[in-house]
Structure 1
Amino acid sequence: MKRIASILFILCGMSTLTTAQIDPRLIQAGIDAISSITITDKQIAEYSRQAVRQMDAKYPVAGPNDPYTQRLNRIVARHRNVGGIPINYKVYNVKDVNAFATADGSVRVFKGLMDLMTDAEILSVIGHEIGHVANKDSRDAMKAALRRSAIRNGLASRSGAVGELARSQIGAAADYFAGAKFSRDQETEADDYSYAFLKRYGYPVIPLATAFEKLSKQGGGNVPAFLSTHPDSRTRAQRIRERARRDGLAR
């Protein structure tokens, strides 16, 4: 509450200036800062739905009779509602090795990932993505992004070298790396969720490890771009295998 009051005080102080004197980026910085504190789960879910609609329009979506859609439907047949959250699944007919989930319960799997993995491995990735939804990672990521945007816009409104830096690609890169550690923490938690998810429903847990091992071999040893901020895939696979051995689920 004190942070909101401080931001409002700054914005009210701006009201003594004419519109021409106020840099729009400074106004946006204030809006982003307030939003990062006050945004609700319901709002984030709605923003997620809007974003997914744009993604669905951008990428070719496999139709209901497409073999990829039918295969995915078989894999996730038992998991249309997880923890009270309705999950909707679609396949993108794109060769990229990728998958993602958003706060509204949308899970999207790319054709390239399905070509690479077995049904059990795909399910382990699905469990991981559902983990992001259940852990409300989209909410936390959006709040963090708004906070970083507020700082960047505030700096960009200034003149001189500091403002130029914030407006540059270096400023954008700094914003990206500022969120990288946060993303790694989320990924580890989603890995744990997937492991528990597979174990709870009686599925083997080792496919979660083999999925990571396959990802680690993509591109001659380089992981796909969407994993660039994530923990190393081989390390994640080893962690899963060690846990499975401790639980008596693997040798």
Structure 2
Amino acid sequence: MSRLSLLLIAFCSPMLLFAQGAGLAQAAMDYFNSATLTDAQVAEYSRQAVQQMDQKNPVAAPNDPYTQRLNRIVSRHRTVSGLPINYKVYKVPDVNAFATADGSVRVFKGLMDIMSDNELLAIMGHEIGHVINHDSRDAMKSALRRSAVRNVAASQSGLIGKVSRSQLGGLADYMLGASFSRRQESEADDYSYDFMKRNGYNVMALATSFEKLAKQSGGGGGSVTQILSTHPDSKARAQRVRDRARRDGLAR
């Protein structure tokens, strides 16, 4: 065994105490394999996890007004930065949205109820930015390492192995509550800003969406949802967008 493998086993040993039904060596190798996941493998795990989430949440039907509105908003953006995107609405009251490495974007009814069309597009642009910037990939690798998912490497035939439903459920829960560094959040904001500007939308929709989120978290009566609790200060982010728009001559 290489020195690197031995170091990894030593580093992983506290986490391996929680592994059940597997030896220390196997769990250590699982941990190592999670660090070598390819983009294609992460996308496949994302697809499986989102598929399970779609089964557990009320998905708006094709003729539902929420689906029709979302389809109208994203009609020009079925592919973003070369990534094919599939959009769905979860008819739950949470103020939330997320995007995953397989190109799935899920928008919650509660978010649609408080945002304009352009604000929704700006938020989706931010979430897609995390995928394009590989933040989602890197965060999922970290989640897989932390949970020591077994046999995560591809098989000899090159096909991704399937994880158990309970493991997928854990990844699904992770995707709903994923948090990123302040730098990653700023870069995703910049991606959304550039996306809005490039496609001829008002970039100020990104600022006003943050201001609405700030108001939502300021004691409006509802509980703070994931999109609020896992992101940095919304007012500061809105001001950053406004400052950049002024520099670009897009706002006063």
Q: Please indicate the TM-score interval, normalised by the length of the shorter structure.
A: 0.7 to 0.9
2:22 to 24, 27, 42: 24
Change (3 A) 1:198 1:107: same
| Unaligned stretches of 5+ residues in structure 2 | 11-19, 149-173
Q: What does 1:123-138 correspond to in 2, within 5 Å?
A: 123-138=121-136
**1:77 aligns to what?**
75
- How far is the alpha carbon of 1:32 from its aligned partner? 3.8
Report if the CA contact (8 A) 2:9-2:25 is conserved. Answer: no
Cα gap change, 1:183 to 1:58, in 2 (>3 Å): farther
Q: 2:62 aligns with which of 61, 64, 77?
A: 64
User: Displacement, 1:8?
Assistant: 8.0
8 Å CA contact 2:139, 2:178 repeated in 1? no
- The higher radius of gyration belongs to 1
CA contact (8 A) 1:121 1:211 kept: yes
Percent identity (aligned): 71
Deviations 1:69-96 (A, max 9, x none): 0000010000001121100000011111
* Larger helix percent: 1
Cα RMSD between the aligned structures?
2.7
Amino acid at match of 1:126: M
Cα deviation digits, residues 173-214 of structure 1 (max 9, x gap): xxx9xx987443322211110000001111110010000100
Aligned pairs (5 A) from 1:74-153: 74-149=72-147
Cα gap change, 1:180/1:122 in structure 2, threshold over 3 Å: closer, same or farther?
closer
Confirm whether residue 204 of structure 1 aligns to residue 202 of structure 2: yes
User: Aligned with 1:49: secondary structure?
Assistant: helix
* Superposition deviation, residue 126 in structure 1: 1.3
Query: Counterpart in 2 of 1:171?
Result: none
* AA partner of residue 240 (structure 1): V
Output the amino acid matched with 1:238. Q
- 1:227 correspondence with 2:228: yes
CA contact (8 A) 1:121 1:208 kept: yes
Using the alignment, how far apart are the partners of 2:124 and 2:23 within structure 1? 39
- What's 2:6 paired with? 6
Q: Residue 109 of structure 1 aligns to a residue in which SS?
A: strand
Kept after mapping to 1: 8 A contact 2:126/2:189: yes
**TM-score normalised by L of structure 2:** 0.76
Q: Please list the CA deviations of residues 94-129 of structure 1 after superposition, one character each: whole Å capped at 9, or x if unmatched.
A: 111000000000000000000000011011011112
Q: Which amino acid aligns with 1:78?
A: R
Q: How far off its partner does 1:31 sit?
A: 3.4
Per the TM alignment, residue 36 of structure 1 is displaced from its structure 2 partner at its CA by: 2.8
TM-score, length-normalised on structure 1? 0.76
Q: Distance in 1 between matches of 2:198 and 2:210?
A: 20
Deviation sequence 1:19-68 (CA, Å, 0-9, x none): xxx97373564134212321111111110000000110011000110000
Secondary structure of the residue aligned to 1:217 is helix
Q: Is the 8 A contact 1:216 1:223 kept in 2?
A: no
Structure 1 unaligned segments of length 5 or more: list them.
Answer: 11-21, 151-175
Greater RCO (Cα-Cα under 8 Å, separation 6 or more) = 2
Shift of 1:143: 1.6
* Aligned equivalents of 2:8, 2:191: Cα separation in 1: 39
